[in-house]
Amino acid sequence: MERKQPKAAITRRRLGGMAVALGAAAAWRPARAQTGADVAKAKAEGAVMLYTSLDTKIVDAIIKPFTAQYGIKVEYYRGGSADVTAKVLAEADAGQIRADIVDASDIGAFLAMKQRGLLRAYDSPAAKAVAANLRDPDGMWVADRLTQAVLQWNTQKVGKAPAHWEDLADPRFMGKLAYFSSSNGDGAPRLYTLASAFGWKLLERYAANKPLRLNSPQVMTQIIESGERTAGFLINDNIAWRSKLQGKATDYCFPAEGVPTELGAVGLPKAAPHPQAGALFYDWWMGEAGQKLLADGGKYSSRSDIAPPKDSPALSQLKLIVPDNQKLFTQRADILDRLTTIFGGEWGG
């Protein structure tokens, strides 16, 4: 159950980490962060490549007015947070960074990219509306959205609606639960967050109910909508929100004892092929208009001046559980191992 890692491996990993940190330190130049994008240069660059883990429906909505306003084409690479991060790291290995702007719902990923010195500091005027504790002190990334992992159920199948995390561990949900994670573990952070708040035992009891694992929250909600599974844990609030809004037979709740929150963030790669266009899109993405579109799509914006999605409670009314991102980052391998032991299947660990 506990860490099976041999001691030597840990030491070597630590050494490796130190080496990387030293390398990053050596590469660090005390250059001042760029403030705001150069619109003329951005237009001359003419294109932006966005790497994102956000739902494509929202991405498309945000891109459209940007392209209309600036005439800059936005293409995107879309995958889970782990896909996006692994892709950026691999491209960095090859010295072939293709992303102009990276968005992923995993702060650990940004810590990893920052540690490897892949990000550049950027002081966006649009980021000022984001609380200081949601920004990297060095300006390498800024949170763009908060995804709450909620409880969702099929209203026709559920009987008594669950209200607490504990409820889904009940044997009456045997063979009736769903959750998600792709094979490279992008569902892991929220499971870890839940476990660190309420104990790993809770996850083991979920596992005892033989939950169905899906590849993405988008497929998970379909399974609950169709009634194939009755209830699900840790689905994205915006997905559950949209399902209900579309009149599907589903409902969801933010359990009062606490809701795992996943911070999404954006950052600019140092070696981006279109640095100014990337920065301009960053300003747009983080700006009031962009973040408003995000909220229209059911996401909680990180900006303090953007209202929550329609009919959704203010974040201040929720008890948010924020994971220790540093731990999430450094203990990733162990966390994935542990989830593999509990749930089985492939976690990329």
- Give whichever of 87 and 292 is closer to another protein, judged by the CB atom: 87
- Give whichever of 111 and 279 is closer to another protein, judged by the CB atom: 111
Q: How far apart are CA 86 and CA 166, in angstroms?
A: 34
- Give whichever of 287 and 348 is closer to another protein, judged by the CB atom: 348
Rounded least distance, CB 87 to another protein, Å: 7
Rounded least distance, CB 50 to another protein, Å: 9
Distances (CA, A) of 43 to 48, 73, 332: 10, 10, 40
What's the number of CA atoms in the CB half-sphere (13 Å) around residue 179? 26
- Tokens 């072939």 label which residue? 96
Chain contacts with another protein (rule: CB under 8 A): 9, 12, 16, 49, 51, 56, 75-79, 82-83, 85-87, 89-91, 93-99, 109, 112, 182-185, 212-216, 218-219, 222, 226-228, 332, 336-337, 340-341, 343-349
Per DSSP, the three-state class of 112 is helix
Rounded least distance, CB 94 to another protein, Å: 4
Dig out the tokens for 218 from the structure.
């988008």
Rounded least distance, CB 213 to another protein, Å: 6
What's the number of CA atoms in the CB half-sphere (13 Å) around residue 247? 0
Give strand pairing partners of 151. Answer: 233, 253
- Give whichever of 126 and 178 is closer to another protein, judged by the CB atom: 178
- Give whichever of 9 and 208 is closer to another protein, judged by the CB atom: 9
Q: How far apart are CA 215 and CA 226, in angstroms?
A: 16
Rounded least distance, CB 231 to another protein, Å: 16
C-alpha torsion angle, residues 234, 237, 240, 241 (rounded to 10): 170
- Give whichever of 236 and 312 is closer to another protein, judged by the CB atom: 236
Helix (H) or strand (E) holding 45: helix 39-45
Rounded least distance, CB 185 to another protein, Å: 6
